[in-house]
Structure 1
Amino acid sequence: MAEVTGNPYDINGPHFNPDMYLQRLLKECPLQQIMDQESEIVQDTQALHSEMQTLVYENYNKFISATDTIRKMKSDFKKMEDEMDLLATNMESITSFSEQISHTLQDTRQQITELSGVHSLLKRLQFLFKLPAQLKTRIQEEQYSQAVQDYIHAQRVLHQYGNMASFQGIQGDCEMIVEELKQKLRDHFKSKEASAKELAESVDLLLQLKEPAKSLCADFLSHAETRLAEQLTFLEDMQEQDIIEFVDAGSSGFLSDLCLVVASYNDMFVNRPRPQDAQLCDDLDSVALAQLSNFVLRNMQRYFDIVNARIEKEQDGGDTVVLVRALDRFHRRLQAMKKLFSDTDFASTGTDIVLRAGRRQCRFHLQTLKAHFADTLTRVRQSLAAPKLISQDGDNSNSLSELLTSLVLATVEKVKGVLQDLLVFAQPDLTFGLKPHFREAFCVDNVREELVVGFLHHLTATARGFCDSADSKAPPSLLLLLSKMCLEFETSSVHYLLSVTDEWFSIEDRHSSGLLTLESELRANMQAAAQQLLNHYVRMQGLSVSQMLRKSVETRDWLHTIEPRTVRAVMKRVVEDIAAVDGQVGALYEEGQRTEQSSDSSRRTHSVTVSRHAYRSNWSSYAPSQLDSSLVTNIQKLFSERIEIFSSVEFSKVSVLTGIIKISLKTFLECVRLRTFSRYGLQQIQVDTHYLQLYLWRFVADENLVHFLLDEILGSAVHRCIDPVLMEPSVVEIICERG
């Protein structure tokens, strides 16, 4: 099967068939290709022959080399055997000589030992005699460590032979010299140029000289505190520098020195080899640790106070990104100190400092938002007071809608910009940003509740503040604008801002625990503020129209009025003002629902005129008995629907205009009830009410309300007239159409 499946045309294969390959080549290839193939095969054959010759030569050389190596090994092994025999002979000779020497020196060995001990003692005594001079020399050469070692080495001998007169002088001289050495070592604590390594060496030498550890701890920490105080003073002088440079200077200067002091202190006083008296060791450790703890806490507290002061100064309009970078470096360094300060978690204190900085930043941004909103309102008020907004026909709808859009968008975008600025505090690569306590306190309490929710409450409070009667300078159009703004926030902006805040700062749903202010609560506040503003707008506009009507009634002598020939100008002004209000409200609110009514104004006018004519006819018939007529009219009012003059209005144009017209006509009615009219005065009221009826019905939700109030006004004028005679309806219509 292998022969069958093998390729006979593969020249490099095991089943190659030269005849078949040649026949195929002659059959398929041209002459030139056959010649090229032949040349290639010849070259390959020659190359193979050359390679095989090289292999043969190399193998032959290796064979010759192996033969020489074997021959040489045979001669070397023979020489090695001879040398081993000679070595064995020498070892036997050495053993024999050693036994002879040991036997010969056996008697004098004890004497040699005694002489060696005496020689050692003499050398030691000779060292004691030279010790004072040697100690002075080493102190002069500042070889303090070697001097201490020499003194400790000789101290045991001095105590052993101290009762001998010859050694007492030596001991006294050595103690004086050692006291001088101790003073020089203590002077290192007062030197500003002394490094931490030199201080550590000095303390170590003093401890070797049996100096009390408690006093050494106090001296060491006192000197270290002096140097750290200089670092803190330097930081206080850097209050005006860049905050990143300030933090780096504190880390590389004060914190590095403090860590070095603590590490040296632990090595010198806490982690030293324990003495045999365990109780004494525990007492020393407790004293040393207590002094170190007070030292560290005192200096770190001052450092934290300086950092707090610098951070507060940076937050007065500084860059939040730079501030967060500095706080991250500050917290990272405190986090790195955690291993060295195992008893006190300064990283937690650093987190509290960062949290306070974030809280101050939120409060600063809250004040910024409040100031921005106040500036925006000021610009809106200026725009409303500008002449360009008050055209000849009172059409300022485009301006009001544009102001509303700019007010809402500017406020929302400002809040988003503030949130974007604070988002750097919640970056995942920050060391303090990973702590759950920080994220919950900053993101939930400071950003969402204190900043966003607090600003939304400020919006409602500011808007409601314009409803205060003390702020009488606020234009009514501003009240209308703020009402619509609160309604816009209630509809979409509150949900949008809270959603953006929760998404950007990864705030989970904590409504069940009561940690988050409900969105429904904020929306309800916004809607209540919008309702209050709109009601106040209606009352202000109604008061404005009412004042014109009241003055027009109170300043006229109705008993000496001439026969009416035209509509009074104040009535035209009332209609114009109502139309202007209609334009303002229509720019911001929808039309609203109206009751079904006839669209034929001429029919409506005719029906009212007929009603008044019928009323006049009835009045003429009941003129001899005014008391009975008044009683009938009052009885009819008992069965009519009561009109709420100052009721809340709906968020629609017709509801707002209805409220304004109700207040105006009610004021007109009360003023008419307080005056006394002549015949022509009554007829003038008839003309005025008919003129108002012609134009006011289109602004209200129910025209029957206008008809009822106008009938009340005309009826009150009839009751207050000394000669109640009404004009013909056709004459009234002509006067009103001409007016």
Structure 2
Amino acid sequence: MAADDAPLDDKAKRMRDLLSSFYSTDQSSVTNSNAVSSKYATLDTINSPSFDPDHYMNLLVQKSNLETLLQRHVEMAAEIKNLDTDLQMLVYENYNKFISATETIKRMNSNIVGMETNMEQLLEKILSVQSRSDGVNTSLFEKREHIEKLHRTRNLLRKIQFIYDLPERLGKCIKSEAYTDAVKFYTGAMPIFKAYGDSSFQDCKKASEEAVSIIIKNLQGKLFSDSESIQVRAEAVMLLKQLDFPVDNLKDQLFEKLEQSLGDVQLHLDGKIGFSAKPDDSAKQELPNHIPAAHEVSTRELVEAVRAYRVIFPNSEQQLIRISHDLVIKHFESVDTHIKSQISSAQLLDLLKLVWADVLMMDEVLPEASVADVCLEAANHAVKQYITGAFSHLLQDISDSLMKIQINQKETVKEEHPLQAILEASKKAVIQGSMGVLLDFRQLLDDSLPLLNSLRDLVIDWVQEGFQAFFRTLYNRFLLLSGKNNPTSQDLVFHDSMQGDKTVAGLVLVLAQLSVFIDQNAIPRITEEIATSFSSGGVRGYESGPAFVPAEICRIYRSAAEKFLHLYINMKTQRVSVLLKKRFTTPNWIKHKEPREVHMFVDLFLQELEGVLSEVKQLLPEGPTRKHRRADSMSNGSTTSSRSNPLRDDRLLARSNTQKARSQLLETHLAKLFKQKMEIFTKVDATQDSVLTTIVKLCLKSLQEFVRLQTFNRSGFQQIQLDTQFLRNSIKDSVEDEAAVDFLLDEVIVAAVDRCMDPTPLEPAVLDRLVQVKLEKPKQQTSTSQ
């Protein structure tokens, strides 16, 4: 196949060379190139014009053997035959074209025959028409001149009549306030007045000038009248300028009026929304339709005035740009005022749409001002302020719900479960308020306003950053309410409203449970909503990290819940400790009289515990019941009552007799401490039993310390014994860790023994009788009241 294709390629190449040589326009260049190439001729250059046969034969004989020469002879013979055939075909094809061209020329010759005669006839007719037209023009020349002269005279008479009637026309225009027509009439007569005003039309000129002076005065009155619209003022300026009045002298006053007109547009914007301080969803305010229409009219008048001022004062572009920027700034000042009054997102959208419509109108007439860029920057600030304000209002709502505890305490408002009600109200304020602001912000993202579409990514970041900052600020507010934090600059107003109010312990317990709710319920739900609607499109870089970090917020409130729970326990314990300190520092224990009844401080102590139990029952779960009761193997420690411990009675009797007994008692007590190894203070759980038990333990520990600081006589020691026994019987069923409470009560007795000069205990019968009498008093008071 390769051998067959080669001859065909050579044939095609030769045909192209023949046609190229036949139609070539620059034979010299071809000749020169071939002359140069002939120097380096090879066996393949036989088709070139500068082919040298002798040189070719020498090369062929040198490079080929006999068999190759014979084969080359056969090939050349075939090529010659093919070339003859191709040449014959070219001749036939060109012959047919020559015949076709000859026939075409014959047809053209036959068609041209007779055309010259027709052209001569046409020329004769044209010359005849031209001669007749010249005759008509010559005969009508004089009449045409006369008619044109009469027409000019008629026009002149009309102008003269117009000049004579001009003062009267100007007077009618002044009466009808048609100042545009009056200016048109007067400017039309100005050329005649300039030419003949000092001679033929002197009186008419004087009367017209007097009328024009009145027109100028009236136009100036309209220009500076506050009752006239901006469009009317702009027309007055245009007319004064046509009358050659020096309006440039009024430029400053005119621009001052234009700036004052911004107040009219702003007034319509303020009247656009009649918002209340806190919009009520149940009674949504309907906006009257005439207010947006009136605002649009005012804005259009301002836009037309700007358009007119650009024509009147060509060099006033910078002033007009400043005025257009002031318009946007004043609009957003009004928007900021409404935002501070706690408006909804729908109302904010109404305001932004109104402002954007004004911006589009102003941008159309004054594109150099780039009003849209100024509007975008101002909207950036306004929307950010709206989002920040929404979080501030949410923070205030939650604070108000928590402050009801102190308000109720101050106003002595009694409710069945006040703490529970306030906790539920606070939970509702947190979760519903957060969902409400998210829904409100979602409306901003869903709206198709171009102004908000350009801020979409920023709004997403502001919302996430806002929630992060909101929960941090709410945590600081919790600390401020609990009295554990100094007020920051943003909390000064809130702190001033709290001055004079002591922190209520119940409020601290509410804060603890509210922190648990935020950690376990509020943050997961808010995180889910943010992931659904506010997670994409933010402009924060990856290196900055996410704007809202729920794990960090949960950690803060998880720690806060524990902190507030311990603070509540400390506040309650401190209150009881103050009561105990007063009890033990006031009387003279060395001269104490024989005990006749349980001391009043025990009742106050039990009342405080009842208050604690009432508060924790409202807010905390009961928790698992796990009483730590002592086994028989711990009989060397404390027992359920002081009189059921024979060893203690023996020790007390021995101590009252000899110093040796005192030493034995001390040794026995130390041995008990090392053998028992009882864990008194364990981790506090957020349950009723755990909190109450911890408070009881801390109070009894304080009681022990106060006892250590006093010196008792026998009666004082017996009073401590009686009070301790009554407490043991009263609180043993209320606490979670009964063993630890018994141990602490025993420690109080031991401390009293150590500080007593004659630690002789009460007789068991007397002790039981006094305790029983104390227990019977509440029953008697109850039956008496019934």
Aligning the two structures, in what range does the TM-score lie when normalised by the shorter sequence?
0.5 to 0.7
Structure 1 residue 263 and structure 2 residue 307: aligned? yes
Q: Report the equivalent of 1:553.
A: 584
Q: Report the equivalent of 2:363.
A: 338
Structure 1 residue 518 and structure 2 residue 536: aligned? no
CA change 1:122–1:622 in 2 (3 A) is farther
Structure 1: runs of 5+ lacking an equivalent: 1-87, 159-165, 270-286, 391-395
CA change 1:587–1:235 in 2 (3 A) is closer
Q: Contact 1:231–1:253 (CA<8 Å) still a contact in 2?
A: no
Q: Contact 1:477–1:584 (CA<8 Å) still a contact in 2?
A: yes
CA change 1:525–1:206 in 2 (3 A) is same
How far the C-alpha of 1:474 sits from its partner, in A, is: 4.2
Deviations 1:2-32 (A, max 9, x none): xxxxxxxxxxxxxxxxxxxxxxxxxxxxxxx
Q: Report the equivalent of 2:43.
A: none
Q: Report the equivalent of 1:350.
A: 375
Deviations 1:596-643 (A, max 9, x none): 733889985279825634654774697248689769968997999798
CA change 1:648–1:189 in 2 (3 A) is farther
Relative CO higher for 1 or 2, CA cutoff 8 Å, sep ≥ 6? 1
Q: Report the equivalent of 1:282.
A: none
Q: Report the equivalent of 1:408.
A: 427
Q: Contact 1:548–1:570 (CA<8 Å) still a contact in 2?
A: yes
Q: Contact 2:721–2:749 (CA<8 Å) still a contact in 1?
A: yes
Structure 2 distance, partners of 1:130, 1:470, is 93
Q: Secondary structure at the match of 1:339?
A: helix
Deviations 1:319-355 (A, max 9, x none): 7644532331222331343333222232343345545
CA change 1:694–1:104 in 2 (3 A) is closer
Q: Report the equivalent of 1:483.
A: 512
Pairs within 5 Å for 1:168-567: 190=220, 192=222, 223=254, 226=257, 229-230=260-261, 232-233=263-264, 236=267, 239=270, 242=273, 248=292, 251-265=295-309, 268=311, 288=314, 290-298=315-323, 300-301=325-326, 304-305=329-330, 308-309=333-334, 312=337, 316=341, 321-358=346-383, 361-362=386-387, 365=390, 368-369=393-394, 372-381=397-406, 400-417=419-436, 419-420=438-439, 424-436=443-455, 439-440=458-459, 443-444=462-463, 448=467, 452-453=470-471, 456-457=474-475, 459-465=477-483, 473-497=502-526, 499-500=528-529, 503=532, 513=544, 516-561=547-592, 567=598
How far the C-alpha of 1:672 sits from its partner, in A, is: 1.5
CA change 1:467–1:179 in 2 (3 A) is closer
Give, as a single letter, the amino acid of the residue that structure 2 aligns with 1:257.
Answer: E
Deviations 1:632-690 (A, max 9, x none): 96899799979898x98442334422331233122212221232222343233334334
How far the C-alpha of 1:256 sits from its partner, in A, is: 0.9
Structure 2 distance, partners of 1:367, 1:675, is 54
Give, as a single letter, the amino acid of the residue that structure 1 aligns with 2:648.
Answer: R
Deviations 1:436-465 (A, max 9, x none): 268528952786466x54763465245333
Q: Report the equivalent of 1:612.
A: 648
Structure 2: runs of 5+ lacking an equivalent: 1-118, 170-180, 223-227, 275-286, 487-497, 776-786
Deviations 1:10-64 (A, max 9, x none): xxxxxxxxxxxxxxxxxxxxxxxxxxxxxxxxxxxxxxxxxxxxxxxxxxxxxxx
Structure 1 residue 721 and structure 2 residue 756: aligned? yes
Pairs within 5 Å for 1:10-25: none
Q: Contact 2:444–2:452 (CA<8 Å) still a contact in 1?
A: yes
**Residue among 632, 646, 659 paired with 1:623:** 659
Q: Secondary structure at the match of 1:597?
A: coil
How far the C-alpha of 1:484 sits from its partner, in A, is: 1.6
Structure 2 distance, partners of 1:194, 1:733, is 101
Deviations 1:97-138 (A, max 9, x none): 4354479899x99xx89x999999999999999989977766
Q: Report the equivalent of 1:42.
A: none
Structure 1 distance, partners of 2:451, 2:577, is 63
Structure 2 distance, partners of 1:353, 1:439, is 14
CA change 1:611–1:120 in 2 (3 A) is farther
**Residue among 700, 710, 713 paired with 2:745:** 710
CA change 1:692–1:611 in 2 (3 A) is farther
Q: Contact 1:138–1:147 (CA<8 Å) still a contact in 2?
A: yes
CA change 1:91–1:135 in 2 (3 A) is farther
Q: Report the equivalent of 1:653.
A: 688
Q: Contact 2:718–2:761 (CA<8 Å) still a contact in 1?
A: yes
Give, as a single letter, the amino acid of the residue that structure 1 aligns with 2:427.
Answer: V
Q: Report the equivalent of 2:706.
A: 671
Q: Secondary structure at the match of 2:316?
A: helix
Structure 1 distance, partners of 2:694, 2:771, is 25
Q: Secondary structure at the match of 2:367?
A: coil
Structure 1 distance, partners of 2:603, 2:250, is 97
How far the C-alpha of 1:381 sits from its partner, in A, is: 4.7
Identity score, percent: 19
Q: Secondary structure at the match of 2:365?
A: coil
CA change 1:137–1:263 in 2 (3 A) is same
Deviates more, 1:671-680 or 1:352-361: 352-361
CA change 1:344–1:235 in 2 (3 A) is closer
Q: TM-score, normalised by structure 1?
A: 0.63
Q: Contact 2:655–2:665 (CA<8 Å) still a contact in 1?
A: yes
CA change 1:674–1:320 in 2 (3 A) is same
Structure 2 distance, partners of 1:185, 1:547, is 94
Deviates more, 1:253-262 or 1:438-447: 438-447
CA change 1:648–1:301 in 2 (3 A) is farther
Pairs within 5 Å for 1:728-739: none
- Structure 1 vs Structure 2 CA RMSD: 5.8
CA change 1:727–1:133 in 2 (3 A) is same
Q: Contact 1:189–1:219 (CA<8 Å) still a contact in 2?
A: no
Q: Secondary structure at the match of 2:448?
A: coil
CA change 1:146–1:202 in 2 (3 A) is farther
Q: Contact 1:460–1:526 (CA<8 Å) still a contact in 2?
A: no
Give, as a single letter, the amino acid of the residue that structure 2 aligns with 1:553.
Answer: F
Deviations 1:700-730 (A, max 9, x none): 5544543443333222211221123345778
Q: Contact 1:552–1:570 (CA<8 Å) still a contact in 2?
A: yes
How far the C-alpha of 1:143 sits from its partner, in A, is: 7.0
Structure 1 distance, partners of 2:411, 2:202, is 103
Q: Contact 2:707–2:752 (CA<8 Å) still a contact in 1?
A: yes
Structure 2 distance, partners of 1:196, 1:383, is 62
Give, as a single letter, the amino acid of the residue that structure 1 aligns with 2:748.
Answer: I
Q: Contact 1:189–1:199 (CA<8 Å) still a contact in 2?
A: no
CA change 1:104–1:720 in 2 (3 A) is closer
CA change 1:201–1:478 in 2 (3 A) is closer
Deviates more, 1:344-353 or 1:468-477: 468-477
Give, as a single letter, the amino acid of the residue that structure 1 aligns with 2:323.
Answer: R
CA change 1:138–1:492 in 2 (3 A) is same
Q: Report the equivalent of 2:619.
A: 588
Structure 2 distance, partners of 1:467, 1:637, is 40
Structure 2 distance, partners of 1:197, 1:498, is 58
